[in-house]
Amino acid sequence: MDIHVLQQVVHKTRDARRKQTLPKLSLAERDTLIKKYHPDFREHAYRTIRFGPNAGDKTVVELAALLEGMSQVPDDLDLTPSYVTDVLVVGGGGAGCAAALHAHAAGAKVILATKLRLGDSNSVMAQGGMQISVAPEDSPVTHFLDTLKGGLMHNDHQLLKVMVEEGPAIADWLIKLGVLFDRDQDGNLHVKKGGGSSKPRLLTCSDYTGLEIMRVLKDEVLNQKIQLLEFCAAVELLSDDQGRCTGAVFKDLDNGRFVVVSAKAVILATGGIGRLHIQGFPTSNHFGATGDGLCLAYRMGAKLVHIDTFQYHPSGAVYPEQLIGALVTEGIRSEGGHLVNAKGDRFVNELDTRDVVSSSIIRECEEGRGIRTMAGRVGVWLDTPLLDVEHGPGTVQKHFPAMVRQFERFGIDISKDPVLIYPTLHYQNGGVKIDTNAETGIANLFVAGEASGGLHGRNRLMGNSLLDLMVFGKRSGLTAAARAQSMSYGKLTLHHVRRFRDEARKHGVPSSEVVSPMILPAYARKVV
């Protein structure tokens, strides 16, 4: 049936839905729903990691293969450094830029190396906002409790305490740099309520918050003349005889040559793994999100935490085909947009946590209440026109201009017609274990942002990722800069790579099986 005919169900049932009250799920009901429908609980998608710091733990098969993968750097590579610096930052997104800026401000010599261009990252695509307790009726304690509940009580309490307490200072820093957060009529910061939060605390820049923050951070990195290595992909870390991190090896994507950088401290800010398309899911992630930092840190001996849990954002586009997996911002649900099945019924509290909402959408589709596109994809409706009905004409255009433009390109007016959505692979809940200064168990190796683990527990609360990037980008940069002032450059070796290869052989893993990191997703068609 034509998609426009199916859309009429949403319009016809709107009045009845506006009067509908959804029952609150009990803890037992939530648990049952998630375990039955959430992708984290599909046993066939997981396997045991055979060796390394997380031997015996389970993760998705795609990531397990990369963690056990072999380095592409030859044992006899000439390790004469092409560059020498105090602090080496790997990754050009929010965490990387924040780390570089704070390390530079503390007086360290900084090199920022990034696989693609400066700013090419998931940070750019963050739409929903940044959670910070700035409202009079809110507090860091309430933010802490909301996040702990959202993370299913598995969050690292010390990391979480640091993040919520330092949030207001981060907001002040970003505003002084020039970030244009939304304001109310009195000029105060405007806050919205996000899924799983008890108080409004989302700071937004319409529906392009991440883009606005990255605009400012990128300009500041360039203005401060921090040295950049673009299109330079990290393929290995370097260590001294005591196992301390002493630099990294990169591959210049323009000419394929290896580039060696000696550093007193290394900060990995390489982002997530969406482009592994685990379990075949589409993804909202940028092209370079292939889990590089996890592979590098793991081979070095760093422990990973919560690496069996991933976040599937409830509202990834299902139609048109050109937008498959792209985010339809959670802000639309925060403003009152309904999720509607093929029968025209609401089926979940739209502001519940992401794991509950995603599981509910998957349930509707698996039980035959989804809407199927001509391409064979299935999803549910997000009633975007309801915002204009409830809040007045022009609301969608005013609050979600980026989303309006995104769909206009394909002849869809989201202020008049609902959009079709389904969960999309969005975030890596776990990652490398860090302390409150973002340092790993490997001396002088730091990890900031999505590549780190522990802070968000087993389900990230919306809006916390941007704050995570800024807080631990700052802490890693300042700590690394201070460390660099009191130490000399270490020896450059690949000893840990050789040890890893030896361990792989002991477990029967052939060195030619998988090479990691992946660097770029394998989208090329195979010639048969």
Q: List, in order of start, the domains of the chain with CATH numbers.
A: 3-37+311-425 (3.90.700.10), 83-309+429-495 (3.50.50.60)
How does residue 512 score in pLDDT terms, banded at 50, 70 and 90? Answer: low
Mean pLDDT (whole number) for 400-412: 92
For 158-198, give the secondary structure using H, E and C.
Answer: HHHHHHHHHHHHHHHHHHHHCCCCCECCCCCECEECCCCCC
∠ CA(69), CA(73), CA(76), 5° rounding?
Answer: 130
Residue 527 has pLDDT above 70, yes or no: no
pLDDT in tens, 378-404: 999 999 999 998 899 999 998 898 899
Burial class (CB in 10 A: 0-12, 13-18, 19+), 422: buried
Q: Where are the alpha helices (DSSP H) in 272-320?
A: 292-300
pLDDT for position 1:
55
For residue 27, CA distances in Å to 213, 356, 494 come to 36, 11, 49
Residue 174 has pLDDT above 60, yes or no: yes
Question: pTM score > 0.75 for this model?
Answer: yes
Average pLDDT, the chain: 94
pLDDT for position 22:
83
Question: Which one from 354, 363, 377, 483 is the annotated catalytic residue?
Answer: 354
pLDDT in tens, 221-254: 999 999 999 999 999 999 999 999 999 999 999 9
Q: Closest Cα partner for 516 from 306, 279, 276, 277?
A: 276
Mean pLDDT (whole number) for 451-475: 96
Q: Do residues 405 and 351 lie in contact, with contact meaning Cβ atoms separated by under 8 Å?
A: no
Residue 470 to residue 2: CA distance in whole angstroms: 45
Residue 379 to residue 364: CA distance in whole angstroms: 8
Active site residue 30: no
For β-strands 191-192 and 130-131, DSSP reports them as unpaired
pLDDT for position 39:
96
How does residue 526 score in pLDDT terms, banded at 50, 70 and 90? Answer: low
How does residue 29 score in pLDDT terms, banded at 50, 70 and 90? Answer: very high
Mean pLDDT (whole number) for 496-518: 89
Residue 513 has pLDDT above 80, yes or no: no
Tokens of 442: 């490997």
Q: Which residues sit opposite 526 in a β-bridge?
A: none
How does residue 195 score in pLDDT terms, banded at 50, 70 and 90? Answer: confident
Residue 175 φ/ψ, nearest 5 degrees: -65, -40
pLDDT in tens, 291-335: 999 999 999 999 999 999 999 999 999 999 999 999 898 889 988
Bigger pLDDT: 402 or 86? 86
